[in-house]
């Protein structure tokens, strides 16, 4: 792992952005609930998307300076898509659990298996995967059309195909075989 990071600075940026995300999340929750500094907690939690901006700028600069597009550059686009699509949900989940554990908040609700709520939750999760794939695809296409040279394009296009493969696999592993309860609506809303 250390060799990969030394050889590819974008891998280091991805690791630092992931670390930054968790550090900001933890610091924000500690400030909000343990230190009772709600405003500081809100600022720290609101700063989480900055890590995504740092990652995109790093990839843009790396490709612009002529670095060969690698799997790490594609992975950065995928990381961005999933971070944007799942980030707010993850922050809300962590906030509820932290509040319950450390601030006397209510126990987080988990939908019962086989319930309409669980059925809708599985579909909503899959919609987030589709959103993540769309964001990742747009990001990678943006890199292709703005900074990538002809020798860099193929790798980035390859990642677009892979992210949509993940969408298909997720569909088969989740909502495709989820039993719809009788009282569930015909169409699941986002």
Q: Where do the domains of the chain lie?
A: 2-177
User: Which residues have a Cβ under 8 Å from the Cβ of 34 and sit 6 or more positions away?
Assistant: 102, 103
CB atoms within 10 A of CB 105: 14
| Mean pLDDT value across residues 158-163 | 95
Backbone angles phi, psi at 69, to 5 degrees: -65, 130
Region of poorest pLDDT, from 3-17, 74-88, 107-121, 162-176: 3-17
Other CB atoms within 10 Å distance of the CB of residue 143: 24
Predicted confidence (pLDDT) at residue 189 exceeds the cutoff of 90: no
Q: What is the rounded distance in angstroms from the CA atom of residue 185 to the CA atom of residue 152?
A: 46
């Amino acid at each position: 792992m250390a060799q990969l990071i030394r050889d590819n600075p974008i891998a280091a940026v991805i690791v630092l952005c992931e670390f930054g995300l968790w550090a900001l999340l933890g610091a924000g929750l500690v400030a909000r609930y343990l230190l009772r500094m709600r405003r500081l907690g809100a600022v720290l939690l609101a700063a989480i998307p900055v890590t995504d901006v740092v990652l995109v700028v790093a990839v843009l600069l790396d490709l612009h300076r002529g670095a060969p597009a690698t799997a790490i550059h594609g992975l950065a686009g995928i990381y961005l898509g999933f971070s944007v699509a799942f980030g707010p949900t993850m922050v809300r989940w962590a906030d509820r659990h932290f509040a319950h554990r450390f601030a006397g908040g209510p126990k987080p609700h988990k939908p019962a298996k086989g319930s309409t709520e669980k059925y809708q939750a599985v579909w909503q999760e899959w919609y987030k995967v589709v959103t993540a794939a769309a964001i990742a695809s747009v990001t990678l296409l943006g890199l292709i059309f703005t900074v990538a040279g002809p020798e860099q394009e193929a790798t980035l296009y390859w990642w677009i195909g892979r992210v949509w493969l993940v969408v298909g696999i997720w569909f088969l592993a989740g909502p495709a075989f989820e039993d719809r309860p009788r009282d569930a609506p015909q169409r699941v809303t986002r």
